[in-house]
Amino acid sequence: MKTFTAYVEQDPETGMYVGIVPGIPGAHTQGATLDELQRNLKEVLELCLEELGVQVEDLPRFIGIQQIEVAA
């Protein structure tokens, strides 16, 4: 069993939650609730890992998020 970190945003127009698993091509989805998003992310992540056919140890390791301040 391996734990992955997902980046989650809420679309301001639709209110839908959008999730992305960094480093896994194609591992992104959406859901109307956070619970639905989690279920959808688990399903798409399992499909992506199966499709990639690589060992989990060979995947990129998520380190974290940095906040960058810029003049707007």
Residue 2 lies in a domain: no
Residue 70 lies in a domain: no
What per-residue confidence (pLDDT) applies to 61?
79
Range of the domain at 15: 7-58
Residue 23 lies in a domain: yes
Considering its fold, how many domains does the chain have in total? 1
**Of the candidates 1, 2, 4, the residue with the CA atom closest to the CA atom of residue 62:** 4
Local confidence band at 2 (pLDDT 50, 70, 90 cut-offs)? confident
pTM above 0.75, yes or no: yes
Residue 63 lies in a domain: no
**Of the candidates 29, 24, 28, the residue with the CA atom closest to the CA atom of residue 53:** 24
Local confidence band at 37 (pLDDT 50, 70, 90 cut-offs)? very high
**What CATH code is carried by the domain that includes residue 14?**
3.30.160
Residue 17 lies in a domain: yes
pLDDT single digits (tens) 44-66:
999 999 998 877 778 877 788 88
